[in-house]
Amino acid sequence: MANRLGNKPKSCSNQAIFSHTSRQTKTKIKLTPKITAVLTGHGMTKAYFHRFHLSEDVKCRCGNEYQSMDHTLFQCEELNAQREVLKQQMGTSPARKEDLIIKHKKEFYEYIESIDFDNLIV
């Protein structure tokens, strides 16, 4: 099934993230509701809630037409301050969720926990 933008869901990539992360870090991933939503893409975005008719639109507060998890993490103007802190901590811009959890686990957790998802989906 394709989403509004014609992209197919990437459900198998979530399994790859978890298995690859476990091998790379040799540690367990501490799952919180926020971390789980970010890694799986299930919840905490208007695009997700719209699929279940829990949100009337998919537009982000920053004006972007489609509030997906990737948009929220990497492009949303509402999170520029938190993203800037993450960039400074990492020494580079975040590119992919996989890189964040594998190479910058501590910074990734801090970034995710700093996000007020409830405020973003209002």
Give residue-wise pLDDT tens across range 25-74: 455 678 899 999 998 889 999 999 999 999 999 999 999 999 999 999 99
pTM exceeds 0.85 for this model? no
Contact by Cβ (8 Å): 101, 108: yes
Residue 7 DSSP SS3: coil
DSSP at 67: -
Q: Where are the alpha helices (DSSP H) in the chain?
A: 11-25, 33-40, 46-51, 69-74, 80-90, 97-103, 105-114, 117-120
Contact by Cβ (8 Å): 45, 115: no
Compute the mean pLDDT over every residue in the chain, rounded to the nearest whole number. Answer: 82
Q: At residue 3, does pLDDT exceed 50?
A: no
